[in-house]
Amino acid sequence: MNRLKLPIGIQSFRTIREEGYYHVDNTPQIRELTDRGFYYFLSRPYGFGKSLLVDTLRELFEGNEPLFRGLDIHQHWDWSTQYQVVRLGFDGKYDEPADIEADLVDQLQVVERDLGIDPPKSFDKASSRFMYLLSTLDRSVVLVDDYDKPLLDVIDKPEMAKAIRDYLMGFYGIIKGSGRNARFVLLTGVNMLPRASMFSGLNHLLNVSLDPAYATICGYTDRDLDTVFAPELPGLDRDEIRRWYNGYHWLGDERVYNPFALLQLFRKREFEPYWFEAQSSTHLFRRMMDRNICPMALENRVVDQSLISKFDPEDPYLEAQLFQAGHLTIVEKDQDRFMPRYTIDCPNFEVRYGLNRSLLSFLGQEDETVSDCGKDLVRLLAENDAAGFANRLGSFFAGIPCRWQDTKKPVRYDMWYAGMLYSCFQTVGLDIRVEDHTGYGPTDMDMAVFHDGRGFVFGFGMAEEADDRDSAVHGIIEKMRERDYAGKYRDRGVPVHLVGIAISTRERNPAAVEMLPA
């Protein structure tokens, strides 16, 4: 098997087809898309090939038949008909509406030149040029890539976000009013389209982001890896590839890989969080602080569809932002309820590792410090060294500000520190299970960790005064025994220990740690 070029950063369908790059044929889904309707919207995270999809559609509708020879759609397409394609996209930096206006005017001038359109001189605004262009064309196709990037550039500036939203609302509304003769319309972006009252001009678009028929239209499947990319697999652990980079799920039968991360792996031949490190997640970490949510609370979170498809710059919803950005994915859908509900979680080890490592870095912890601490804590657990574990944990906590606590509410430092320990353990790749409840209702059992043939079930609680620390940690252990927290893990066939951690209310640090066999 001959190795081909890796299409890293290549968004041109023609380049990929003509210059010897690997290519995954997604034209069966494209054919389904073009046969079933005309007006669509698709949301996917960065790095999943939305721009390549848009360019493929452009070449298809322009009738560039040689590029599609050997692909599924070739024998099903009418190559005798060509369409006039208007393709727009946003790949610059946008600080205000004037930046978008200037960029759109430049893009429209290129489209006008390519299509032989000469607008009246008075049409100097992007909106007037766009309206004239669409009303002039007979067989048009409108493709807009990354419709929401200008909004995301200013997501932390509410007033400017509102101004840019209003500008885009007016511009995109032209598609509905002037594009009645359009054969096909597709908008792509990271975030779902906002509610109709915000972008009413786009409420005719069919959102196929969670349509199972198009779940694999962007991204790579296991089958793609084992066929198209088979020459790249020798020397790499196939199961590790799946653990690190597979797991994204948009309700189809298959889960998909992140293309950006996978291609970087094939280039560098080492497992690293390539995609996550290329993201800017600072605003998401700030939102987690605002909502008092730690990463542990995001595991197996149950939400309804409105909470993962919502996008409102003036009222951002954290779970929706994390899901749409690719930090969370759908694990399963509950079909039994009148209103479907979804369990969401990190899609794979890359995201889980990158999210926790980056969060601790955001809080002032160096990567090397976190890694060393995690390894030390695991070693001390294995040695049943409760005192050493408490001291090492205390030094780690001392370097992290307690920023998730809202002083207007009862402070639960135990939950804060449980989240920090969880993040630390995730950065060293431990097998972790998080439980929010048992049959007894809310509990103090926060997580179970498995390492080197042993299990450790953690319970956290508060110690109000210095002389309460021993009784507090004993109480945590007894409650864990009474409610049999370790019971569900005994069938793993490994010894299980209970680890009680009492946090001092006054010192905001571990007051006592106790480890006992379950």
- The most distant pair of C-alpha atoms in the chain lies apart, rounded to whole Å, by 86
The residue whose two tokens read 């930046």 is 99
Task: Judge if 25-212 and 282-349 fold alike in CATH terms.
Answer: no
Domain boundaries, the chain: 25-212, 282-349, 364-517
Pairing of β 39-43 and β 431-434: unpaired
Query: Which ranges in 269-366 belong to alpha helices (H)?
Result: 274-277, 282-291, 305-308, 318-325, 349-362
Distance CA 306, CA 396 (A): 38
Given the candidates 1.10.150, 1.10.10, 1.20.1300, 1.20.120, the CATH classification of the domain at 282-349 is 1.10.10
Radius of gyration over alpha carbons of the chain, in Å? 26
- Confirm if 346 and 328 have CB atoms less than 8 A apart: yes
Q: Which CATH number fits domain 25-212: 2.60.40, 3.40.50, 3.40.462, 1.20.1250?
A: 3.40.50
Neighbours of 99 (CB within 10 A): 16
Please name every residue paired with 432 in a beta bridge, in sequence order, or none if there are none. 449
d(CA 59, CA 198): 32
User: Do 208 and 33 meet the contact criterion of CB atoms below 8 Å apart?
Assistant: yes
Q: Which two tokens stand for residue 377?
A: 């804590």
Cβ distance 189 to 148 under 8 Å?
A: yes
SS3 content of the chain, % helix, strand, coil (to 5): 45, 15, 35
Predicted confidence pLDDT, tens digits, the chain (518 residues):
789 999 999 999 999 999 999 999 999 999 999 998 789 999 999 999 999 999 999 999 999 999 999 999 999 999 999 999 999 999 888 999 999 999 999 999 999 999 999 989 888 899 999 999 999 998 899 999 999 999 888 888 888 988 998 899 889 988 887 667 788 999 999 988 765 545 566 767 899 999 999 999 999 999 999 999 999 999 999 999 999 999 999 999 999 999 999 999 999 999 999 999 888 788 888 888 777 777 888 888 888 877 777 777 666 678 888 999 999 999 998 876 677 889 999 999 999 999 998 888 888 777 778 888 989 999 998 898 988 998 998 888 877 765 544 444 444 667 777 888 898 999 888 888 886 443 333 444 568 999 888 899 998 888 876 557 788 888 889 988 888 888 888 778 889 999 998 888 777 677 788 998 87
For residues 459 and 501, the answer to whether their CB atoms sit within 8 Å is yes
